[in-house]
Each structure stands twice: as C-alpha cells, then as structure tokens.
Structure 1
C-alpha cells in the first residue's frame, strides 16, 4: 500500500449537467484502460451523454461482461438490471430481457454482448430507450435505429470481454476509498441441504447468481429457464433496507406480474384483458415459482427468507452463506424440502 495515491485522468468532457440539473459535471478518461469502456466508446448517434447516462451505461457494461461468451442483453434502470436474459439469438435475448419488466424498461439503458443486427434493432420500434450499447452495429440496424429516434444514444464499445483485475475508487468527502474490482463469482458451489441441487438447475443457478451479484443490496433475485439452456430474470428485489422486503414486496410480486404475461397465461384472460380463470393463473404461478432459482447477494441472518420462498413455492436457492445462524436457514430449507447452495462469496453492492 502506497503512502500516497496519485491518479491521472485526461481529456475532460463537460456534461450537460450532473446527477441533477443544478449540478455541473465533467467526465475524464482513464488513459490506462484497455477494456471496452464508456470513455473510449464511439457515439454513433443521439444526444450528448449525461452524468446519469454514463453511470447507468457503465453498470450495464459491467453486467454484460459477465455474459460475454454468448448472446445476452442487459437492461438497466438506476443501476439495477430490470431485465437480463440470454438467448439463442440476440433478438430472442432482447425479447426475454424486456419481458422481465416492460414498465421499468421505459427510458432504460441497454447493453448487448454481440453486434446489433436488424432483427434485434426492429424490436425497439416504438420503445423509448436512452442508450443502446453494443460491440458494433450492422449498417441496416444502425440506419433503422437512427430513423427510429433522433435522441437514442448509440454507443459502439468494441469487443466485450470478461472483466480484468484492477483497483476501483469511491470518493467521499475528505477521502478516497480504494478496493479491488469485484471480479470474483464464487469460492464454491456447495449444496448444504438434504435436498440435493439437481444438475439440470445448476446453469440457471449460476446465471441467477451473476444477476444477483450486480443488483443493489439487499438483493433478492428470481430467474427462470424460459427455453432449454436460456435464462431470464423473472423477479428482482433490489436496494431495500431489509432483505425480506426485497423478497416479499418487490421480487415475488414482479414474478407474478410476469407470469400473467407468459404466452401460456393468455387463456386465463378474456379479449379485454380481464382475468376469467384465477385458479388457472394461480396454478401457473405455483409452477413457475417451483422452477425458478432464488438468489440472495448476502447470507440470511434469519430463516424468514427461506420461509417466504417456500410459501411462494420456490424450491431452489443460491446464497453465499456465512451467517452465525446458517444452521437455522439450512434447518428451514430441510423442513420444506428446498435445495440450497452456498457460494462462499458475498456480493454487496452499495
């Protein structure tokens, strides 16, 4: 550890304003950064970037790095992944990510892991998006997006790869915090319950854990395998003062909202969208809750989240473990036949 911290940033770019309109702001570039990043991105179209645009786009890009080995789409609102999905095609991933929370996706920042083609671009017709960030754009996709809106910011960042180790900084009044970038994922993948975690749920659990890692604390996330081998966020509970609220007040209601939008739920509503088969919808909800994996970014100090998961029908949980009362959560999971995995690595995000 050095006795003195000296940082160098160059090429100051004035922002329209800061986090709020009464604050001024400037964006400096790190000349040592070689990864895809916002400071070196090429803006191909749209209004100039704002302070909040850059903060959200950086969060989206960090999430996209986790899924850079395939077609993935991250939709960010206020630094949380309101939609995130993988897909056989980029268009399919975008559709599944958007379905995770169509309301919050309004005015969002989107990062994709592959070159944007026309079919992917066409999905955004009539949808308000602040930023679409991608490694590159096909010419016809770029033309379509430019004709779609004069305001959408289109950012070309180059190839998106896994995150590399570096230091990250957070300024507080009177000082600077320095820490390692959170590039870790898990130290282990250990099933700690009598009910064993099925092999066919492990890929979904790992996807869920990566989404949970990038959700503001206290985070509860539920993800779903909407197609064999491809996953989407079904429910998100971010940034609450306590974890049980993240689960009961945010995540579970979002899952129920999304279940009602599934194709197989159409038969439960009439042509005017009125629910006509409540029992059928409840049965579908129970089925989906039984197939999701629930993630928590930190350990459970009490068994209340396990109990709440069981009440909804959840059968699979991934969390870091590490509480002095882990035994109570494990005991509760065993009581309800829930399979629970410990990863050994917490991912608080403040």
Structure 2
C-alpha cells in the first residue's frame, strides 16, 4: 500500500487529505487499529525519528511523548527511583526497560503530555501497554507489539486507539520536499549524527562533562532536532525534563523550559508527594491540582475552598520561600540549545534551574558574555558548531 486516505488535514475543513509515497513504493507503516489523522502522523513520524536516533546514540531503549509536532518529553531506559515512580504514577506497576523509558518521557511534563502521541524504539510490551491504557493518549508508533500489548491497547478508547507499526529498516530519501502556499520547498534531509564527538570544544574554564552529562546532552540535542524552533531542552537522569519549543526569543525558550524543569523538580518535594488526595481523583485532575499547588496562586485557591474537591484534608501550602529553598538543591542538569545563545541572560536563567552542563552551537557576537557568565557559575559549556532548527 503506497497511499492512505485520511479523514481531513490539520483542520476538518482541509479536505481531501492523505499520506502517500511519491515513488510508488509501499508506505513503511501499518495501521493496526484506529484511524490516525494528519497531525497524528506528523507526530508519529517525527517522534519515531527521535526515538530511533536516541536508541542508536545511547544503545538504550528510548521513548517519546509528542504533542503538536514537538516532544513534551523524551527519555532512555534507566532505573527509576521510588520518588520518580511515584510522581509518574507507576509505583504500582512492573516496569520493563521500554516501559521505564515511556514512564519518564510521559512524566517529564505530564500537563503537556495529556492526549499525547507515544513513540517507542523497541517492541511495545505488556508493561508499556498497561501504562498507556490508563493515560489519556491519542496513539502510538513502535516497530512491533507483543500479542498481550496489542490486546490491551486495542481495548483503549472503546476500541478506537490509534496503533501504528513502522518498519524499523525503512530509510527515507536523502532529499525531502514540502509545500507552502502552493510552492514546493526542497532540502537535504537532516541526517546529522549526534554523538559525543560534538562535545569536545570547550570555551569555558570548566572543561569537564561527566558521563551522565554527556548522555543527557545527547538526549537534549536529539530531542531538539525534532522540536519546533526556537527551542531549548533541559535534561537530567536520562530524560528531558523541560522543553521550550517554538518561541521567537531564545530567552523565552530558556524560561519556558526552565519553568517546566522547576515543576518537574518541585513535584518531588516531600510536601507535594504527601498531598492527601481523595482516592477517586483521576490522574489528570491530580496533575492539574499539583500544578496549581506548586503555583504562587495556591493560597488564593485555598481561601476559595476549592481544596475540598480534591483532598481529604486541607493541605499546608508550599510557600514561595520553601520553593526557593528546594530549588536551591536542584543540580546536575544539562541544557541543549538548537542555536546559539545571544546573551548571558539565558545562562543566568539556566543556572537557577540547576544547569551545570551546556551544549550549544556557539557563534554569537556575544559569545564572550555567554562564556563569562558560564565561568561565573563554573558551568562547563561545549560549542557543538551545529544548528538544529526544525520547521
């Protein structure tokens, strides 16, 4: 089959819609369940590239959680701490390596991952399917599915959950095309390999990346390769923990992603983990409530009495001072950027979210200012010399 008709394009009024192979070859995918749409396939093909490259670069099973053609999270399989299992809502499940990777990818930014498209580098197993079964998700792409996993996923969304199988041996053409306003654009596919060879040019006084930092920077850079630009990515413990995508200003990317990284870390605060939720509160409502609890508006919410909907008892607020002190313990974070930092203000903001390692292209007329701020905080920074814009 070299063509698949779709219900509509980005919006219901955009008809007809299809995906097809111009050279007459068969599509490298098989729809096992559901009816994926135009945006579903954009997410599927971008997320598949991301996880397959992560697997190739690290040798570890990889997963991604995509929304609107950018990753909300991406991760490789490492063992989860009890704390992370709890904040990702998987502490009651057995976790295989690929399930661990997806739990981390989904857990990086659970608010943004609501209704995600999931991508797995490895065969989807029962453990991963059980995570997906109880989350709000639009679909999944993977190179295969066990019989148990397929049965579980086919029961999701009243039998309409989108399940796509992709040929892992498919190699796209070297030249790619797209149309905008009836005009065809052509470019060479971005087949740039991202590995430790990009992390050797240190303009900073600190010229040391730990092995964990190298891994996390590779994760950040590969994630950025498939994130709508401008973009930056904070990473720690084998996963993206904050992605700032599609901003016109680099500092806004850094702030957006840094705020997400802060929320990821604040969710691990003992007060947050001990919140007395009612047993029947759904995971999305817990996520929303935790987000409000962490915000500076929570004392107003308490005063309004909204807490009674979600908690068995009135929780003590996490004060601004307590949040500030908790975030002071945030450390060991890696930061990648898809283009150069034009000013040192980005480094100042990154430092507030525990960043100790940075990889960026370099080449700004203000590189000296960026290097100066890195040296001020003893941050190790590598100039990769490569830009990762994605549109």
TM-score by shorter chain over 0.5: yes
Distance 1:165 1:340, change over 3 A: farther
2:53 corresponds to 1:66: yes
More moved, 55-64 vs 23-32: 23-32
Deviations 1:180-236 (A, max 9, x none): 1111145732121001232332222222211122221111110111xxxxx111111
Distance 1:240 1:277, change over 3 A: closer
Identify the residue that residue 14 of structure 1 maps to in structure 2: 5
Identify the residue that residue 90 of structure 1 maps to in structure 2: 98
Identify the residue that residue 158 of structure 1 maps to in structure 2: 167
Identify the residue that residue 261 of structure 1 maps to in structure 2: 267
Which of 21, 27, 31 aligns to 2:18? It is 27
Q: Which has the higher helix share?
A: 2
For residues 390 and 273 of structure 2, what CA distance do their matches in structure 1 show? 39
Whether the 8 Å CA contact 1:268–1:276 is kept in 2: the answer is no
Shift of 1:11: 4.3
Deviations 1:279-303 (A, max 9, x none): 5654442333x21101110001222
For residues 362 and 383 of structure 2, what CA distance do their matches in structure 1 show? 5
For residues 210 and 45 of structure 2, what CA distance do their matches in structure 1 show? 34
Whether the 8 Å CA contact 1:29–1:40 is kept in 2: the answer is no
Unaligned 5+ segments in structure 2 are 79-96, 277-310
Equivalent pairs counted in the alignment come to 328
For residues 305 and 177 of structure 1, what CA distance do their matches in structure 2 show? 33
Identify the residue that residue 331 of structure 1 maps to in structure 2: 372
For residues 316 and 150 of structure 2, what CA distance do their matches in structure 1 show? 39
Deviations 1:73-92 (A, max 9, x none): 11100011101111140111
**What SS does structure 1 have at the residue aligned with 2:262?**
helix
Deviations 1:150-196 (A, max 9, x none): 121111113367x6661111212353211111111457321210012
Whether the 8 Å CA contact 1:193–1:340 is kept in 2: the answer is yes
Shift of 1:346: 0.3
Unaligned 5+ segments in structure 1 are 1-9, 226-230
**What SS does structure 2 have at the residue aligned with 1:191?**
coil
Whether the 8 Å CA contact 2:258–2:349 is kept in 1: the answer is no
Which of 303, 327, 338 aligns to 1:285? It is 327
Scaled by the length of structure 2, the TM-score of the pair is 0.77
Distance 1:308 1:32, change over 3 A: same
Whether the 8 Å CA contact 1:268–1:275 is kept in 2: the answer is no
Shift of 1:108: 1.1
Alignment of 1:130-169 (within 5 A): 130-149=138-157, 150-159=159-168, 166-169=174-177
2:203 corresponds to 1:192: yes
Whether the 8 Å CA contact 1:12–1:26 is kept in 2: the answer is no
Distance 1:329 1:28, change over 3 A: same
For residues 196 and 19 of structure 1, what CA distance do their matches in structure 2 show? 46
Whether the 8 Å CA contact 2:75–2:219 is kept in 1: the answer is no
2:388 corresponds to 1:347: yes
More moved, 78-87 vs 194-203: 194-203
Distance 1:270 1:77, change over 3 A: closer
**What SS does structure 2 have at the residue aligned with 1:123?**
helix
Whether the 8 Å CA contact 2:261–2:353 is kept in 1: the answer is no
Distance 1:113 1:266, change over 3 A: farther
For residues 361 and 344 of structure 2, what CA distance do their matches in structure 1 show? 14
For residues 125 and 344 of structure 2, what CA distance do their matches in structure 1 show? 46
Q: CA RMSD in A?
A: 2.4
More moved, 272-281 vs 22-31: 272-281
For residues 33 and 333 of structure 1, what CA distance do their matches in structure 2 show? 52
Identify the residue that residue 43 of structure 2 maps to in structure 1: 56
Shift of 1:243: 0.9
2:29 corresponds to 1:41: yes
